[in-house]
Amino acid sequence: MTKVAVFGARGKMGAEVCRAVEGAEDLELVAAVDAGEDLRAAEGADVAVDFTHPDAVMDNLAWCVAHGVHAVVGTTGFDDARLERLRALLAERPEVGVLVAANFSIGAVLMMRFAEQAAAFYESVEIVELHHPGKADAPSGTATTTARRVAAARAAADLPAPPDATMQELPGARGADVDGIRVHGVRLRGLVAHQEVLLGSEGETLTLRHDSLDRVSFMPGVLAAVRAVGDRPGLTVGIEPVLGLG
């Protein structure tokens, strides 16, 4: 049995993860910790799963690494600087594994890969992410990750910036600029987590869309990561390696 602690256990994702762990025969939920509660409840855990808040996650991970607890992290807000800090923490405890993923749903992982593959073939690309109105961060971690991967693929293909004649705009009208890719955010009651990648060239467009209609969509990826992280010392970014996607 792998002993699992959940941080953010009373949140939307944390509660779903607690249910998924309790329903898995090879996993045991040993701690369910929420804001203001003592992380020491997780001391006996093999793996901690963090779905908290971008402001809280780094302290939680510092605690995990210091206590030799592997971690699976869904909380967003990981830029290069944060990943570097995490690598530095892990260098002190090289036996510990931490897996950070912007999105644990299989469809979203595939969407990001397909967008990266298509990027070199289209002059234009923009991303629209659509989420529930309780989301704290914008753009979403998934949209930011997608934009960075698309931008890298375009750069590798020597593509110039997407065409855009805008000379005059209200602030925000053209979305956020992530590595030169425009990302637009929608917050709407009734939504869970959705994204469209719009690609266009002369005479055609390609739209890649993914919808998480229920938070159960993230659970197969989270459980696969929980089962794998103990055998992956150091930092793993994304769930592709765990899914055998290379």
Ligand X SMILES: O=C(O)C1=N[C@H](C(=O)O)C[C@H](O)C1
Ligand Y SMILES: NC(=O)C1=CN([C@@H]2O[C@H](COP(=O)(O)OP(=O)(O)OC[C@H]3O[C@@H](n4cnc5c(N)ncnc54)[C@H](OP(=O)(O)O)[C@@H]3O)[C@@H](O)[C@H]2O)C=CC1
Positions marked catalytic: 131, 135
What CA–CA distance (Å, rounded) separates 109 from 60?
25
Q: Which of residues 186-225 bind ligand Y (CB under 6 A)?
A: 218
Q: Which residues bind ligand X (CB under 6 A)?
A: 76, 102-103, 131, 135, 140-142, 193
Sheet holding 47-50, edge to edge: 27-33, 2-7, 47-50, 70-73, 97-100, 234-237
166 belongs to an annotated ligand binding site: no
145 belongs to an annotated ligand binding site: no
Indicate whether 53 belongs to the interface with ligand Y (CB under 6 A).
yes
7 belongs to an annotated ligand binding site: no
Nearest CB to ligand X, comparing residues 31 and 102? 102
Strands 193-201 and 204-212: antiparallel
Secondary structure of residue 221 in the 3-state scheme: helix
10 touches, from ligand Y, ligand X, none (C-beta below 5 to 8 Å by class): ligand Y
131 touches, from ligand X, ligand Y, none (C-beta below 5 to 8 Å by class): ligand X
DSSP classification of residue 214:
S
Indicate whether 118 belongs to the interface with ligand Y (CB under 6 A).
no
133 class by beta-carbon count within 10 Å (0-12 exposed, 13-18 middle, 19+ buried): exposed
- Figure out which of the listed residues 76, 144, 145, 195 binds ligand Y, where binding follows CB under 6 A: 76
DSSP labels for 107-158?
Answer: HHHHHHHHHHHHHTT-SEEEEEEEE-TT---SS-HHHHHHHHHHHHHHHHTT
Contact 48, 17 (CB under 8 A): no
Helix locations, the chain, DSSP H? 12-22, 57-66, 80-92, 106-119, 141-156, 219-228, 240-243
Indicate whether 14 belongs to the interface with ligand Y (CB under 6 A).
yes
Q: Which residue has the tokens 């990981």?
A: 78
Least distance in angstroms from the C-beta of 73 to ligand Y: 8
Which amino acid type is present at position 27? L
Nearest-CB residue to ligand Y? 11
Q: Which stretch binds ligand Y (CB under 6 A): 10-18, 115-123, 143-151, 174-182?
A: 10-18
34 touches, from ligand Y, ligand X, none (C-beta below 5 to 8 Å by class): ligand Y
Specify binding-site residues for (S)-2,3,4,5-tetrahydrodipicolinate: 132, 141-142
Specify binding-site residues for NAD(+): 8-13, 34, 74-76, 101-104
- Residues in contact with ligand Y by CB under 6 A are 7-8, 10-14, 33-35, 51-54, 56, 60, 74-76, 101-104, 137, 141, 218
